[in-house]
Structure 1
Amino acid sequence: MTTFVLVSGGHTGGWIWRDVAPPLRAAGAGVHAVTLTGLGDRRHLAGPETDLETHIEDVVQAIDHVDADEVVLVGYCYGIYPAVGAADRRTERIARLVYLDSPLPQDGRSMLDQVRELMPAGPARERMLGMAERAEDGWRVPAPTPEEWREHGNLAGVSPEGLARIARLASPMPLGPAAQRLRISEAVAALPMSGVFCTVGGTTDIAALEALVASGMPLVQHLAGPGATFFELATGHWPMFSTPDELAGVLLRAAAGEGHRLAAATAA
């Protein structure tokens, strides 16, 4: 049996997958939604010492406690950083690593490093780089207000009820995980992987990725390999709220190895 281990992003928790889990289970898959230390209903466990290693261990433990032949590990937004870190430590357990509207983490870079180096200039970038200045007691970044979610959250397709739920359940985010540099080996790039781009309000899609590969950019060349597939969802950054059934279908297809493949000629 295939089990999806779902890793949520900053300020959220396993609760964001509520509407995605039923269609996955109806298709015969197992589902384990991870809530990282200091987030969601584990917010009381956060402290100044909470860092990326803490979150990686959260995901490692989730993988270790899943009784399944195949683990499909899904990292959403910030959640891809602990997901990739855990995949590097449990490569033998991972059937596929799914990047859900997320960055492509690199060894030796923190999330904030990559925001600084790669994210286009604008209010969203400045807000993320200002996490340390907003942090209470030097380590706890308050959750966005509903108005801030509307302005910066790319909520295209999310209903007013969905936004109310996000705002009600969002938790502060420890600063440490965003600032600590990720350490991974080349084994991660060799894992079968799928990327899911949310194209409404997003900055990247399959065509843009193909152009990057064709340009010869070294860090994306492995994405033209036979084990890499890609999907697009015509929605904003919260597909688990805006299009949960469609997202579940994409995750099932990714687990089956389906999706768009970059042509070998593009890689050349």
Structure 2
Amino acid sequence: MTAFVLVSGGHTGGWIWRDVAPPLRAAGAEAHPVTLTGLGDRRHLAGPDTDLETHIEDVVQAIDHVDADEVVLVGYCYGIYPSAGAADRRPERIARLVYLDSPLPQDGRSMLDQVRELMPAGEARERMLGMADRAEDGWRVPAPTAEEWRAQGDLAGVGPEGLARIARLASPMPIGPATQRLRISEAVAALPMTGVFCTTGGATDIAALEALVASGLPMVQHLADPRATFFELATGHWPMLSAPGELAGVLLRAAAGEGHRLAAQSAA
């Protein structure tokens, strides 16, 4: 049996998978949404010392408490950082690592390092880089307001009910996980992986990734591995709210090794 361990992003929690878990379970898989320490209904556990290592351990514990033979680890947005860290510690348990509309974490860089280096200039970039300036008591970043989510959250496809859910359940975010540098080995790049790009309002799609691989950029060459697959979803950054059934179908196909393979692979 396949077990999906679903890791949410900043300001959210396991609640974002509420409409994705049932179709996964209906297909015969297990679904284990993870709420990271200090977020969601665990927001009361946050403190100045909550950092990326805390969140990595959250995901490691989730993996260790799954009995299924195949664990498909899904990291959404910021959630890919603790997911990559946990995969590095339990590579033998991970059948596939899914990057759901997320960056490609690099050893020795924090989330904010990569925002600074790779994210296009704009209001969203400046807001992320200003997290520390907005932090209450020097460590806790307030959740965006409904108006801020609407203006900056790439909510394409999310209806009023979904936006109301985000605004009601979003939690403050400890700053430590965003600033601590990730430490991972080559074991992560060696895992079978799937990238899922949300293309409505997104900055990256399969064609752009193929161009990066073809350019010879070292950090993306492992994406030409024949085991690497890719999907595009024609929705915004919140597919678990805007297209939960479609997302569940993509995750099931990813677990089966299906998906687009980069054009560069056919020439290898």
Tell me, yes or no, whether TM beats 0.5: yes
Other-structure match for 2:133: 133
Cα distance in structure 1, aligned partners of 2:207 and 2:115: 21
| 3-state SS in 2 of match to 1:31 | strand
1:32 maps to 2:7: no
1:16 aligns with 2:24: no
SS in 1 for 2:209: helix
* Structure 1 residue 267, shift from structure 2 partner: 7.2
Q: Distance in 2 between matches of 1:263 and 1:244?
A: 28
Residue 263 of structure 1: CA displacement?
2.8
In structure 2, the gaps of 5 or more residues are none
- The match for 1:118 is 118
Aligned to 1:44: 44
CA distance in 2, matches of 1:87, 1:267: 29
TM-fit CA distance, 1:266: 7.2
Which residue matches 1:92?
Answer: 92
2: CA distance, partners of 1:122 / 1:4: 34
State the partner residue of 1:169. 169
Give the CA deviation at 1:256: 0.1
Letter in 2 for 1:251: L
Q: 1:267 to 1:81 in 2, by over 3 A?
A: farther
**2: CA distance, partners of 1:20 / 1:267:** 36
Partner of 1:77: 77
**3-state SS in 2 of match to 1:98:** strand
Residue segments in structure 1 that go unaligned for 5+ positions in a row? none
**Number of equivalenced pairs:** 268
Equivalent residue letter for 2:251 = L
Once the two structures are superposed, residues 129-178 of structure 1 have per-residue CA deviations (whole angstroms, 9 ceiling, x without a partner) of: 00000000000000000000001100000010000000000000000000
4+ residue segments displaced more than 3 Å: 264-268
Relative to structure 1, the CA distance from residue 265 to residue 65 in structure 2 (aligned partners, 3 Å threshold; closer, same or farther) is closer
Q: Report whether the alignment pairs 1:239 with 2:225.
A: no
3-state DSSP of counterpart to 2:150: helix
Identity of aligned residues (%): 89
Partner of 2:257: 257
CA contact (8 A) 1:197 1:206 kept: yes
Aligned residue type for 2:193: M
CA RMSD of superposed structures (Å): 0.9
Q: Distance in 2 between matches of 1:225 and 1:6?
A: 24
Q: What TM-score comes out, normalization by structure 2 length?
A: 0.99
**Residue 186 (str. 1) matches residue 186 (str. 2):** yes
1:8-33 deviations in Å (ceiling 9; x for gaps): 00000000000000100000000100
Matched residue, 2:217: 217
Which amino acid in structure 1 is aligned with residue 14 of structure 2?
G
Deviations 1:87-134 (A, max 9, x none): 000000000000000000000000000000000000000000000000
CA distance in structure 2 between the partners assigned to 1:165 and 1:64 by the alignment: 30
Distance in 2, matches of 1:266 and 1:136, equals 51
**Alignment check: 8 A CA contact 1:213 1:267 kept:** no
Shift of 1:227: 1.1
Letter in 1 for 2:56: I
Q: Could you tell me the TM-score, scaled by structure 1's length?
A: 0.99
Which residue of structure 2 lines up, in the alignment, with residue 103 of structure 1?
Answer: 103
Flag the 1:264–1:166 CA change in 2: closer, same or farther, 3 A: same
Question: What is the CA-CA distance between 1:44 and the residue it aligns to?
Answer: 0.4
Question: In 2, distance between residues paired with 1:98 and 1:182?
Answer: 18
